[in-house]
Structure 1
Amino acid sequence: MYKQCHCGGMMNLSFRLVIFEGVLEIDRVPIYECELDCYHEVFPAIKADLKALLSSLKQQGKNGRIIFTEVNELAHLIFDIYRTWEQSESLSFEALLERKSGERINLLLDLYGCAKAMNDSGWMGDISNRLAQMSNIVKDRQFSEENQRFTY
C-alpha cells in the first residue's frame, strides 16, 4: 500500500515499534514511511485509536510491551493482509483491504447479534469497540470518495 509523501516521494506501508515516554512499547503499529526523506506517519485510520490507547495506558500507569494488532481490529486486519498479500495478486492492497473490511464488519455484526441473543453485555461491548475501530477505514474511504467527486 502506497501513499504520496509531501516531498514527492512514495510512502510505503510498514509496521513499527513505537516507544512511548521510554516506558511503553507498542509493537506492530501500521505506519507509512517515505523512502526519500525518512518521514514517517501513523496510518491515518488508526491514529485516533493509537492516541486513545496511549492516553488510557498512561492514565493507568502501565509500562511494558503491547502488540497493537492484538488490541486493534483494523490494525490486525491490515497486518494480516500485509503478511499474505503479494503484488502479483489480481487485487490491489487497497481493494483487498476494502473487501476484507466489509467481510470483517459483517462477521462482527453477526457476532454482535449472537452476543445480544445471549444477553452478554460484556461481549457486546467488546464487539462494539471492534466495530468502532473498523468504522475508521469506512469513514476514510467515504471521505476520499467525496474529495474525488468534487475535484475538478
Structure 2
Amino acid sequence: MRKLCHCGQKMSLDFRVLIFGRVIEIDRVPIFECQLCSHYEVLPAVKSDLLALLDELKESNEQGLVLFNEVNELADVMFSISRTWNQMESTSTSFEVLFEQKCKERINLLLDVYGCAKEMNDRQWMDEISKRLLQISDFVNYSQFSGAN
C-alpha cells in the first residue's frame, strides 16, 4: 500500500506506537510513512476509530498498553499480512490484492460468527461483531486504494 507524500515521494504502510497522555501506549497503529522526509500520517480508514479509542481512554484513566489491531478489524488484517509480507514479496500477488482477499475472508468469518451470536440471542456480541464488520466492509466497499498506489 502506498500513497504520495507532500514532498512527492511514495509513502509506505507501516505500524507505529502512539503514546497517549504519557501513560498509555497504543501499538500497531497503521500509518503511511515517507522514508525521505519522515512525514507520517494515520491511515485515513482507521483514524475515526483511533480518535474514538483516545476518547475512551481519556475517560477511563487507564494506563498501560493497547494493541490497536485488537480494537480495529482493518488494522488487524493489515498487521497479520505485514508480519509475513517480507517472506512473500517474491510472489506475484501485490499487497493490495492480498489485502482485499484477506478482508473478504474476514468479512465471511465475521458473518459466520454473527450468525452464531444471533442463534444464541447474544445482543452484546452481535453489536460488537456488527461494529467490526462496519470497520472492514466500509473500507472494502469504498476501497481506499485509489490514489494510494
TM-score (norm 2): 0.89
1:38 aligned residue: 38
- The answer to whether the 8 A contact 1:15-1:28 is kept is yes
Which whole-Å CA distance do the structure 2 matches of 1:79 and 1:41 have between them? 16
- Count of aligned residue pairs for this structure pair: 145
Which structure's relative contact order is higher, taking Cα pairs within 8 Å and 6+ residues apart? 2
Which whole-Å CA distance do the structure 1 matches of 2:91 and 2:44 have between them? 25
**What is the identity percentage for the equivalent residue pairs of Structure 1 and Structure 2?**
58
Which whole-Å CA distance do the structure 1 matches of 2:84 and 2:25 have between them? 25
1:58 aligned residue: 58
Which whole-Å CA distance do the structure 2 matches of 1:12 and 1:143 have between them? 12
Shift of 1:128: 1.1
1:97 aligned residue: 99
1:149 aligned residue: none
Over 2 Å off, 4+ runs: 142-145
Shift of 1:63: 2.0
Q: Which moved more, 1:116-125 or 1:129-138?
A: 129-138
Q: Cα RMSD over matched residues?
A: 1.8
Q: Which amino acid aligns with 1:131?
A: L
- The answer to whether the 8 A contact 2:77-2:103 is kept is yes
Residues 25-78 of structure 1: per-residue CA shift (max 9 Å, x gap):
101111111011110001111111111111111112222211111222111110
TM-score (norm 1): 0.87
Unaligned runs of 5+ in 2: none
Which whole-Å CA distance do the structure 1 matches of 2:6 and 2:76 have between them? 27
- The answer to whether the 8 A contact 2:2-2:11 is kept is yes
Answering whether residue 139 of structure 2 is matched by residue 128 of structure 1, we say no
Unaligned runs of 5+ in 1: 146-152
- The answer to whether the 8 A contact 1:30-1:42 is kept is yes
> Which of 115, 119, 130 is residue 113 of structure 1 equivalent to?
115
2:9 aligned residue: 9
